[in-house]
Structures are given as structure tokens and as C-alpha cells.
Structure 1
Amino acid sequence: MRILLIALLSLPLLAQAQESPAGRWKTIDDATGKTKSIVEIHQTRDGSFAGRVAEILDTKDGPNPACDKCKGALHGKPIKGMAILWGLKPDGKGKWSGGTVLDPENGKTYKSKLELLDGGRKLGMSGCIAFFCRQQVWVKQ
């Protein structure tokens, strides 16, 4: 009976854990449909979510390309290991917003939001300027 009670009390925690963007995601190139990289998203101490490039899979620019179009302290730094998402906070079931995303290909930052898709097997990552957003769909690794 005690085990059943513990299991029932744990269900909300399990459901909450599944409704998180945390994990490793394959980024997909819009134009080619090929996997470009693996982004690892984690929850930070303040409860927001951030992500970094864990692996580069598209090596057309070499095995460890630098962010030549980034500005400031990130200019010329390796993209692998670079933080490209930060400040995302929950704004509803399966959605996070209020963050920033860096596109290492052009060095620009955009307002960002995330949305779990397909039962959490995919992640809609949107970069926005004003009211115009472009979404990429990333796949859970």
C-alpha cells in the first residue's frame, strides 16, 4: 500500500519532468533537411533554460568552426561548446519564452521561444524579430 501511495504521489513530478526542453536535440538545416549539430539544453539555477552546442555534425566549415560573424567576446571562438540559447522561462504547458538565441552562422541574436511538439519528441525553436518568427524543428536525440 505504501509503494502505491508513493507511486501516485510521484506521478505529477514525472509528468512535469517530461514537459521540459532539457536534453540533447538534433538541429536540422531548413534548406537541406540534414542534421547540423547537437544542442544540449539544461535548466539553470534560476529555473530558466539555456543551451549550448554539444557537437558539430555538419563539417562543411571544418570539424570545429569558429564564430567569425559573432561580435564582441564570442568573435572567433569555437562554436562547439558555445552557449546559443539562454533566458527561456516557462509560459504555459510545454512552452518557454523570453529568451535569446544566437545564430552562429550570421552572428545575430534573436528573441527566442521553445515549444514541445509530437509528445516531446520534437522541439519547435523560434527566433523572432518584432512579431516575425521563424521556427526550426529539432529532434530529440
Structure 2
Amino acid sequence: MNKRLVGFGLLLIFGLLLAVVPARAAGSPDAVLGVWKNGEGTGMIQIFKKADKYYGRLVWLKVANTPAGTPRTDVNNPDEAKRKTPLKGLENMRDFTFSGDNKWEGGKIYDPKNGSDYSCEMTLVDANTLEVRGFIGVSLFGRTDVWKRQMMKK
């Protein structure tokens, strides 16, 4: 009787695993929505959806103001006309599409530290961990940053 019970228990666990794994792999296109802190802890990005694409904007900066007390601006932007644009609120991620398996691809990410635009893809590792990979050309030549989901106070 004990062997039957153990066998049934193992079968039940295996069945549950089979049911959970495909659901995890499929993922939800909107699972990436929310506020994320970058790996350095210097900024928070809100990922949002417009039509069928995903975008991101800077909503918090660890150092929000210059030494003079004015809001930090996009001083490294190659377009001189945009150098006075405040960093807070800046849309720095654009045009991502959900490709399945917890991955968003085909997007661009702008780095205000150097004024450069990179191809980008995002992978949701778990509900609170997002890998953001910026690259030039192919994904092999790039850098991955690990972002953590932030729970916003109401």
C-alpha cells in the first residue's frame, strides 16, 4: 500500500510540473509592465504599453538634480536641441514586441550617460527579475543588466 501511495504522489507531482512548465514558458505579454530599478540602482524605469508595443520611461533618479539644484537634463544627447530635456520622464525604451517565452525583442534603448541608442531585448527571468540586454548589431556583442521590480506605494 505504501509503494502505491508513493507512486501516486510522484505521478501527481510530475503531472503538476508538466502543467506548470508550459504555462511559465508561454508567459503573459503584459508581465513586463511595471516599474523596474536598474542594476546600478541609479534609476527606475516604468515599462508601459502603447498599442501592441512596449516602451519605457525614466520615472526616478537617485541623483535627480545637478549640483546647482536644477533637474538633470539629457546633456549627452547627440541632438543639441534635446540636451535641455529633463531626464525624469524621458522615454528611453521603445518599440519592443512580445516574442513568447517571456521575451520582448526588436526594441531600442537609449543610454543618457553617453547619448547612444542600442538594439535591445528583455527577458523576464521571474516575476521580479528582468534581464535587459543592449547591443550593437548582434546580441552576442552587448551587455546585460539585471533589473528588479519595484512595488510602488499607493
The interval holding the TM-score normalised by the smaller chain is: 0.7 to 0.9
Contact 1:70 1:76 in 2 (8 A): no
Within 5 A, what are the aligned runs for 1:10-49? 16=28, 20-29=31-40, 35-45=41-51, 47-49=52-54
Normalising to structure 1: TM-score of the pair?
Answer: 0.77
Q: Distance in 2 between matches of 1:102 and 1:25?
A: 16
Pairwise CA distance, 1:58: 3.5
Structure 2: segments with no counterpart, 5+ residues: 1-22
Correspondence for 2:110 = 102
Q: Within the alignment, does 1:120 sit opposite 2:124 as a pair?
A: no
Contact 1:27 1:38 in 2 (8 A): yes
Contact 2:37 2:43 in 1 (8 A): yes
Q: Within the alignment, does 1:66 sit opposite 2:66 as a pair?
A: no
Contact 2:43 2:59 in 1 (8 A): yes
- Structure 1 consecutive aligned stretches of length 4 or more whose deviation exceeds 3 Å: 58-63
Normalising to structure 2: TM-score of the pair?
Answer: 0.71
Pairwise CA distance, 1:27: 1.0
Identity across aligned pairs (percent)? Answer: 24
Q: Distance in 1 between matches of 2:110 and 2:49?
A: 18
More helix by share: 2
Secondary structure in 1 matching 2:28: helix
Q: Within the alignment, does 1:50 sit opposite 2:55 as a pair?
A: yes
CA distances 1:42-67 after superposition (whole Å, capped 9, x unpaired): 0111x110000001113585573111
Structure 1: segments with no counterpart, 5+ residues: 1-11, 30-34
Q: Distance in 2 between matches of 1:67 and 1:107?
A: 8
Match of 2:144 among 125, 135, 138: 135
Q: Distance in 2 between matches of 1:24 and 1:114?
A: 14
Secondary structure in 2 matching 1:51: strand
